[in-house]
Amino acid sequence: STGRIVKAADFISEEMRARYLNPNWIKGMQGEGYAGALEILNTVNNVFGWQATTPNVIRNDQWEAMSQVFVEDKYKLGLNEWFDEQQP
């Protein structure tokens, strides 16, 4: 199969939509306990790293979406309690 070349911003946008902001992926991370919480932390840190090194790659609406999903618990997955248990 042949690969495809995509801009970093497009790749990150696809990954966020398909994986990191997807409730099924988040539920899978919850099932992994501490390791899942660490994976979510690493994801947020990586997005921050992109923002710091290449500011035009991460959009404001993507930060807002991450806040809605992980801080405001948009999908009502009990994330605040889960984070408290896994990362006190």
Residue ranges of domains in the chain: 8-86
Q: Find the mean pLDDT for residues 3-32.
A: 93
- Name the pLDDT band for 6 (thresholds 50, 70, 90): confident
Output the pTM of the full model.
0.88
Q: Is the pLDDT of residue 60 over 90?
A: yes
The DSSP symbol for 5 reads: -
H or E segment to which residue 30 belongs = helix 23-31
Contact 37, 86 (CB under 8 A): yes
